[in-house]
Structure 1
């Protein structure tokens, strides 16, 4: 059964800025602007959740906070004062369930590297391990890594439904715009559940 994203969730995902610099905060959606989208999600959060992420190649390991959307329509992310903390977007599927599970992490924060500082260094075939609250230990294999400008973020490719368990890892990347206190791009890693 397919469930459609809530309006606030779509607004937040359209503005993906998760995992960016200490100086940057997610920008709110325009006040009062109607939000429509054809982007569905397969299974919203209902209790079961991922508890940790580990990426051996880049030495990244973190527990996972469950985050959602703030009242202003922006996506909630871990504090930049804890740049090594990753989060799971709980309106996406639980990793291992059908659909694209979304895991977010900072590239940096407090002038220190973040949990996904080296995310851009992953290549197809690299592994990502996810543990869940039901005791399952899942292995995902990277399919591709992209760097995309934030103003052309591929929402359908990242958040659109799929017919198998998939994982998306997202952080910021590219050049840092000091005037905007923001990285110009997002790094998105696409991974599939290992057979």
Structure 2
């Protein structure tokens, strides 16, 4: 259950957030290794047996272009848990297609980790993205906006080790003005970014106008 009277970090951090209702194209997937350009790229392919995932995370962004890459030959991310909003989800590795687009999770109920970026628990901003909804139902990150500062996120790696983060803040941003450096730029400590779509949905254009990004800092690890 969602805590009905929680004050969300979207409220606490929204003073500078952009909340313009625009009819852009589909909840565009993430561009890696490029600077933000037009927000109206088509969605990457989604092959889930579920109906179309309308709320894939991301816009044309630059995931961890300057951050140290994780060694994913030995470790990957297997699960993400966010008790305060009822998330306990498998995590798929996210890859880029030939044009540099970061493909969204295949399954609506899964989150996805950008595997060419930072491994959770390591220095830099690890990135986990998830769908907001599908045409039939809510998806893994539908309640991301309910998070408040201090809520914990635990990420489990393939070897059973964990990295736990505490939520700091969140921003709601228009995709065409996505703050690439703020979200994906290098950090002196271990950070986590949780990303989904937000804003008004235009059925004709098959799009959400905004991205919602949660920022969190590492508070503990287990081997």
> Counterparts in 2 of 1:11-160, with a 5 A limit?
11=34, 22-23=53-54, 39-47=65-73, 48-79=75-106, 82-160=107-185
Task: Say whether residues 1:9 and 2:32 are aligned partners.
Answer: yes
Deviation of the 1:122 alpha carbon: 0.6
The count of residues paired between Structure 1 and Structure 2 equals: 179
Match for residue 167 of structure 1?
192
- Cα distance in 2 between the residues matched to 1:130 and 1:90: 14
Higher relative contact order (CA 8 A, sep 6+): 2
**More strand as a share of residues:** 1
Q: Structure 1 length normalisation: TM-score?
A: 0.81
Q: Structure 1 13/167 Cα, relative in aligned 2: closer, same or farther at 3 Å?
A: farther
Instruction: Give structure 2 stretches of 5+ with no counterpart.
Output: 1-30, 47-51
Aligned equivalents of 1:178 and 1:116: distance in 2? 20
Aligned alpha-carbon RMSD (Å): 3.0
Distance 1:112 1:37 in 2: 28
**d(CA) in 2 for partners of 1:38 and 1:99?**
8
Structure 1 residues 61, 37: closer, same or farther in 2, change over 3 A?
closer
Q: Provide the TM-score with structure 2 as the length reference.
A: 0.71
Quote the offset at 1:22 in angstroms: 2.5
Runs of 4 or more, structure 1, over 3 Å off, are 11-19, 23-29, 36-39
Task: State the SS of the aligned residue for 2:102.
Answer: coil
SS in 2 for 1:51: strand
1:24 and 1:136, CA in 2 relative to 1: closer, same or farther beyond 3 A? closer
Matches within 5 A, 1:178-189: 178-189=203-214
For structure 1, list consecutive stretches of 5 or more residues without a partner in the other structure: 1-7, 30-35
